[in-house]
Structure 1
Amino acid sequence: MSETQRDILSTCFSLAIILFAAFVTQRFFLPLVWAAILCIATWPLFERALRACRGRTIPAALIATAASALLFLVPLAVGLTEAAHQAPALAAFVAEANTNGLAAPAWVARIPMAGPAIFEWWTNTLSQPHGMAHLLQDGSVGRLHTASELLRNFGAHLLHRLIDIGFAFLALFFFYKDGPALVRQMDAIGSHCVGRTRWELYATKVPTAIRATVNGLVLVGLAEGLLLGIVYAFAGVPSAVLWGAATGILAIIPFGAPIAFLIVAGLLLAGGHTVAALVVAGAGVAVLFVADHFVRPTIIGNATKLPFLAVLFGILGGVETLGLIGLFVGPVVMTLFVTLWHEEKVFGPGVRQN
């Protein structure tokens, strides 16, 4: 057997092991990716814990994991607690609306320009029995007839997500603990495959892009939800905490916050609270304008050196193709693409260094 044939067989053997390992662990792929993103975003926190623990890795990893879990789980627990208080009434409302239809409010038809079209769509879909099934791709709403069925379905999905969160934080601890070794191994593999200089150029971009995305999307979005939640409370919105949490989650996605605060304003308007509805809508527009035009572009664009369109397309395209995790993967991909675009300026025309 020639040396070339032996190399080919060795490569195929390695690929077979990698593919089989991926197949076996595919159920845990998403928690691992979330753990990796959270580890990269909070690595400075682990470094501080490591210095405080005088270089002892395991205590530092435990402290960093606990701190990350608190940052994530405390807001989640507050939102779930508030949602649990409202869940029975909400489930009963959804089941009743799905069974008998939900009549379109008269004020919808008075919305400038789009009002008549929205009113007609609402009348032809949501006003009809089981019309809410059109809101879900799998039509699951159409198969739910009681509030208890809605609650059981929601509980099953919630339990599944909580298990994923548990595995993600378990993986996060080991990523902290073995992070330096993992980085050294990845550097060795990357340098062997594409050359040290080129690998270092790309490898340094990924942590920067992830941290900038977390700061620019997650933290800014949660700040939007907090500010608008305060506005909701002063405007007398029922369940202001729950609506504030929903606004913060939607605000993580570009153009997601208007969905929340416009619904709140619409509910206030339907209840006859015109001034409060205008205050909520005005505050939402103001907060969104400042966040999307000044804060986010500064945080993400300055850190990653990405044009605004690259950031926007990376985020929206990532969400559309990969779901929520695409919020972070999309900007990373666009960062690597822009790096590739400008690579000739780094290496010189037609030159590759290994």
Structure 2
Amino acid sequence: MVPTSLSERMLSRDLLDVLIRAGLIAALVIFCFQIFNPFLDLMLWALILAITLYPLHGVLKSCLGGRSGHAASLIVLVTLMILMVPVYLLATSISESVQQALTIVKGGSFHIPLPGEHVARWPLVGPKLHDFWLQAATDVTSLMEKVLPHLKGVSLNLLGKLTGVSVGFLSFIAALLIAGVIMAYGENGSRSAVQITTRISGPVKGPQIAELCTATIRAVAQGVVGIAFIQMLLVGVGFVVMGIPGAGLLALASLLLGIMQLPMLLVSLPVIGFVFATEGATVATIVFTIYNLIAGLSDNVLKPLLLGRGVDVPMPVILIGALGGMVTNGFIGLFIGPVVLAVGHQLFWQWVKSTPEDVEPRERTKT
């Protein structure tokens, strides 16, 4: 009986030691996560940028005589210069739109025409729309008193969205700077990633998982975000050259549609209709129409070149990742969401497909 009780005591002591160690490790992990959590999105964005731009970094590094730091700094500077163009256009467009609205209001030239009698005969919304339109044309002051409380909430909501976009852009700049540091030490980072995945999944699957994650991040970042950014530049240049009001906002809307995998023609077609309605069928409007249609459909050519590089990511995964990332993490989540969800999708299906291959060799060794 004594050896049994002694062994039970030793077993309980070993179990208690294991539980204490596991508890301490869990407490340390939770504490570290709480400290790192505010920087999680920023570091994810920086890692995605570093992995996406690292092939370009390798080319520049060889051209600069193996100077990794100089190549990373050059990529960061050029990227910032490219980003300043759409940001400048957006800020200029918003400023011009506000100034035009203030000029119209102060000059007293703002006039709403009376509604036609046929508006009241429209089904469902006709009578209410007619009354609202008539009051706006005859007594805009009382109408503003009714609408102003609702406009206040909408304005605050819109201001919050614009603030989120500004914060997201600043976060992107910070992530780009961190990505430059990561690229400068890219070889060490690549070895560390392989070591981590090898420690988790073994020496055979570890390098494969690291390579799969890298390929997925590059494919989605280039084939989704990159294509959307290229299309935004093409469409935005056409809007600016044609003098479209709010060209910067329309270009930003095109970028969001492109990331969410929605047709960019949703923005281009109304703009084309506006141009024909205001300027008529001239040579300039026809050229503008052809240019915008080509720019809006250019993703059909760019996607096979940038997205189809050995990684098949379904469009619903990208759409859900973009929408879910935007809801949970704001503007920056619109970029991070598709990449993270695509990586999870690829890892899941690799695990599903690799299971039968792992079982068969074990059964053969048993027989």
* TM-score normalised per structure 1: 0.70
Structure 1 residue corresponding to 2:58, chosen from 47, 71, 90: 47
Aligned pair 1:87/2:94, yes or no? yes
Structure 2 residue corresponding to 1:68, chosen from 71, 76, 91: 76
* 1:39 CA drift (Å): 0.5
**Structure 2 CA distance for aligned equivalents of residues 95 and 119 of structure 1:** 31
Structure 2 residue corresponding to 1:23, chosen from 13, 34, 42: 34
**Structure 2 CA distance for aligned equivalents of residues 118 and 160 of structure 1:** 39
Q: Contact between 2:51 and 2:214, CA under 8 Å: does it hold in 1?
A: yes
Structure 1 residues 85-113: Cα deviation after superposition (integer angstroms, max 9, x where no partner) = 2323434678999xxxx989x9xx99xxx
* 1:190 CA drift (Å): 2.7
Structure 2 equivalent of residue 336 of structure 1: 347
Q: Contact between 2:232 and 2:254, CA under 8 Å: does it hold in 1?
A: yes
Query: In the alignment, residue 46 of structure 1 is paired with which amino acid?
Result: H
Q: Contact between 2:61 and 2:71, CA under 8 Å: does it hold in 1?
A: no
| Identity between Structure 1 and Structure 2 (%) | 19
* 1:311 CA drift (Å): 2.0
Query: What secondary structure does 1:301 align onto?
Result: coil
Structure 2 equivalent of residue 262 of structure 1: 269
Structure 1 residue corresponding to 2:217, chosen from 210, 215, 232: 210
**Structure 2 CA distance for aligned equivalents of residues 118 and 178 of structure 1:** 62
Structure 1 residues 22-52: Cα deviation after superposition (integer angstroms, max 9, x where no partner) = 2123222221111000010011233334445
Structure showing greater Rg: 2
* 1:64 CA drift (Å): 1.1
Structure 1 equivalent of residue 299 of structure 2: 291
Structure 1 residues 266-308: Cα deviation after superposition (integer angstroms, max 9, x where no partner) = 432553546677765665444444523x43145323420x2xx
With 318-327 and 260-269 compared, the bigger mean Cα shift is at 260-269
Q: Contact between 2:260 and 2:323, CA under 8 Å: does it hold in 1?
A: no
**Structure 2 CA distance for aligned equivalents of residues 344 and 121 of structure 1:** 63
Structure 1 residues 93-152: Cα deviation after superposition (integer angstroms, max 9, x where no partner) = 78999xxxx989x9xx99xxxx989999999999986879999xxx853448xxxx96xx
Aligned pair 1:141/2:154, yes or no? yes
**Structure 2 CA distance for aligned equivalents of residues 96 and 119 of structure 1:** 32
**Structure 1 CA distance for aligned equivalents of residues 244 and 215 of structure 2:** 39
Structure with the larger RCO, 1 or 2 (CA within 8 Å, 6+ apart):
2
Q: Contact between 1:62 and 1:173, CA under 8 Å: does it hold in 2?
A: no
Aligned pair 1:225/2:232, yes or no? yes
Q: Contact between 1:133 and 1:141, CA under 8 Å: does it hold in 2?
A: no
* 1:338 CA drift (Å): 2.7
Structure 2 residue corresponding to 1:314, chosen from 294, 314, 317: 317
Q: Contact between 1:65 and 1:169, CA under 8 Å: does it hold in 2?
A: no
Q: Contact between 2:69 and 2:184, CA under 8 Å: does it hold in 1?
A: yes
Query: Which ranges of structure 1 fall in alignment gaps of 5 or more residues?
Result: none
Q: State how many pairs are aligned.
A: 324
**Structure 1 CA distance for aligned equivalents of residues 297 and 128 of structure 2:** 30
Structure 1 residues 46-89: Cα deviation after superposition (integer angstroms, max 9, x where no partner) = 3334445555xxx5234314413422x22321122223323234
With 253-262 and 158-167 compared, the bigger mean Cα shift is at 158-167
Query: What secondary structure does 2:261 align onto?
Result: coil
**Structure 2 CA distance for aligned equivalents of residues 340 and 312 of structure 1:** 21
Query: In the alignment, residue 164 of structure 1 is paired with which amino acid?
Result: S
* 1:210 CA drift (Å): 1.2
* TM-score normalised per structure 2: 0.68
Structure 1 equivalent of residue 175 of structure 2: 168
**Aligned CA-pair RMSD:** 4.6
